[in-house]
Structure 1
């Protein structure tokens, strides 16, 4: 009975989801995240012309799993094999630019930690101009509003300790939030549709229509039940955490790359000592500023974080300095230490001309591995300001 209820409720959503898929060919590859209970998998078997890769998460250390489905007579029908990983904490076990489409259906609302991580991995495994298709409940739907007005929860489910992590809805999205999350990170939206699902009896359809008309006097937000999005990969992926969705991210660090570029991954790889991001279009992009007086008062350098790169021998920073009062040259000191460590792996002081861009480098002692985590520290004098565009291991 439970499965019959699930199937009946899923059919309208499945049809709407399949309508959002781009056209595929025999060589097209699609990744279906959160494929259990395999309703969408059964549909893809019949209508997707290319290869389907499935993924789930069961809370164990297992890397692979399988599920045998039964037909209506109770006999064995087919077996689905799938990869096992956590989409918001693990690196997906696929090479860069593997898939033409990633299907992220009825999953993002279950994430409890970091949807931007999941989107970064989706972006990475998508081919250039590949698509992600996302479906999720609308947090502004009439059902959510009615629940809130009658004393229920407007956005999330009750706690479900017996079912474990990821079962309940942790965060449902408004259409504008979904648009901002995708467009601010690395996707261009081809289609965003909000529509009602379910076969409502005539009196409920009338009641819903009247409620929508009345609510439009106060708000023109869409009140249908579900959001469907098809978005195209746009390079580069930008690590950005929208204020409406994230809080207390100032100290968040995630060493993902052997480089840091302002406006791309500075939100996860810039440490203390920097001002907020500035848009210097006349200088070719975004920068962050370090102020010598502030660094002196805090008794700390301006720091960026770098993930190790095999064979790297030096760290490089592209900087531009200004000084008041003016003088011909300005001293800049670079230092490399382990992440949250104090052992000096390299240090160099150089004199540079103000108001010009310079690539300042420092040799790194020893062997740098891909698993190493480093800090590149910048020190300047109190009367100096420095702007950083990019830093990297070379």
Structure 2
């Protein structure tokens, strides 16, 4: 029987009790986003409409567990090394979550073991900004596994978040440049950085260019408390639908 989402951070933490360590600091920072994303998604979707969910970048299963407890058939995807953690595997078993380990997402075969049209909903939350490669092959993989009538749910930091722009302006004026800091480029793994942050307009354009088959159902900014706000909000929430397969992903990559 579907279970309601937790109503507090302590209730959220209880979901992971008895399954080993989790990243409690990350959960404490982001639990409201997880709940708000689930709430927004649930306004127009239910397991009856499409129960098969693929959570890309699932890591600690902080988000996957919400959907599994709500009655969805969840496949949690992340790097194979990440999904080997004993506590994470215990949590997955307890909640009926299937784990899918993949290699680098730039590999066209990253999702090859998932069947064509086998997924109704793709969760792509706080991942887009970490992609440091041309994503065409990756989106071809997503397009292949997404069933006609399916939906992609995206959350990503808003480029125009006012605090980010203030910090960036101060760095610019001090001669510190822009983008990813040199220290981070050299000392952190590739996927640790925010290589590219988007505005809501850019995000709409992104999926429009990817395929004429995609329809951006809604796309707007959320505040630090993850409520809907104007263009200077902290994060962007978007729903991208695939009504039917006709044209595929547009691949016109060139050097100039």
Q: TM-score, normalised by structure 2?
A: 0.73
Q: Distance in 2 between matches of 1:52 and 1:150?
A: 43
Q: Residues 251 and 225 from structure 1, CA distance in 2 versus in 1: closer, same or farther, beyond 3 angstroms? A: same
Q: Give the secondary-structure state (helix, strand or coil) at the position aligned to 1:88.
A: coil
* Corresponding position of 1:237: 248
Q: Tell me, yes or no, if structure 1 residue 123 matches structure 2 residue 143.
A: yes
1:284-295 to structure 2, matched below 5 A, reads: none
Q: Distance in 1 between matches of 2:207 and 2:242?
A: 10
Q: Give the secondary-structure state (helix, strand or coil) at the position aligned to 1:146.
A: helix
- Out of 47, 56, 59, the residue aligned to residue 78 of structure 2 is 56
Q: Give the secondary-structure state (helix, strand or coil) at the position aligned to 1:171.
A: coil
Q: Give the secondary-structure state (helix, strand or coil) at the position aligned to 1:184.
A: helix
Greater C-alpha Rg: 1
| 8 Å contact from structure 2 (residues 143, 249) kept in 1 | no
Deviation for aligned residue 1:227: 0.5
* Corresponding position of 1:30: 53
| 8 Å contact from structure 2 (residues 50, 120) kept in 1 | no
| 8 Å contact from structure 1 (residues 144, 153) kept in 2 | no
1:64-83 to structure 2, matched below 5 A, reads: 65-69=83-87, 81-83=99-101
The structure whose RCO (Cα within 8 Å, separation 6+) is larger is 2
| 8 Å contact from structure 2 (residues 50, 121) kept in 1 | no
* Corresponding position of 1:324: none
Q: Which runs of 5+ in 1 are unaligned?
A: 71-75, 200-211, 213-220, 242-248, 253-394
Q: Residues 46 and 123 from structure 1, CA distance in 2 versus in 1: closer, same or farther, beyond 3 angstroms? A: same
Q: Distance in 2 between matches of 1:26 and 1:108?
A: 26
Q: Tell me, yes or no, if structure 1 residue 45 matches structure 2 residue 68.
A: yes
| 8 Å contact from structure 2 (residues 56, 124) kept in 1 | yes
Higher strand share: 1
- Out of 206, 215, 220, the residue aligned to residue 181 of structure 1 is 206
Q: Tell me, yes or no, if structure 1 residue 90 matches structure 2 residue 108.
A: yes
Q: Residues 46 and 154 from structure 1, CA distance in 2 versus in 1: closer, same or farther, beyond 3 angstroms? A: farther
| 8 Å contact from structure 1 (residues 122, 132) kept in 2 | no
Q: Give the secondary-structure state (helix, strand or coil) at the position aligned to 2:184.
A: coil
Q: Distance in 2 between matches of 1:86 and 1:167?
A: 13
Q: Residues 69 and 137 from structure 1, CA distance in 2 versus in 1: closer, same or farther, beyond 3 angstroms? A: same
Q: Residues 40 and 130 from structure 1, CA distance in 2 versus in 1: closer, same or farther, beyond 3 angstroms? A: same
Higher helix share: 2
Q: Residues 26 and 196 from structure 1, CA distance in 2 versus in 1: closer, same or farther, beyond 3 angstroms? A: closer
Deviation for aligned residue 1:88: 2.5
Q: Residues 30 and 190 from structure 1, CA distance in 2 versus in 1: closer, same or farther, beyond 3 angstroms? A: same
Q: Give the secondary-structure state (helix, strand or coil) at the position aligned to 1:52.
A: strand
Q: What is the Cα-based RMSD across aligned positions, in Å?
A: 3.0
Deviation for aligned residue 1:163: 4.2
Q: Distance in 1 between matches of 2:180 and 2:47?
A: 35
Deviation for aligned residue 1:27: 6.6
Q: TM-score, normalised by structure 1?
A: 0.49
Deviation for aligned residue 1:192: 0.8
Equivalenced residues, count: 215
1:189-338 to structure 2, matched below 5 A, reads: 189-198=216-225, 222-234=231-243, 235-239=246-250, 249-251=253-255
| 8 Å contact from structure 1 (residues 190, 231) kept in 2 | yes
Q: Distance in 1 between matches of 2:220 and 2:49?
A: 28
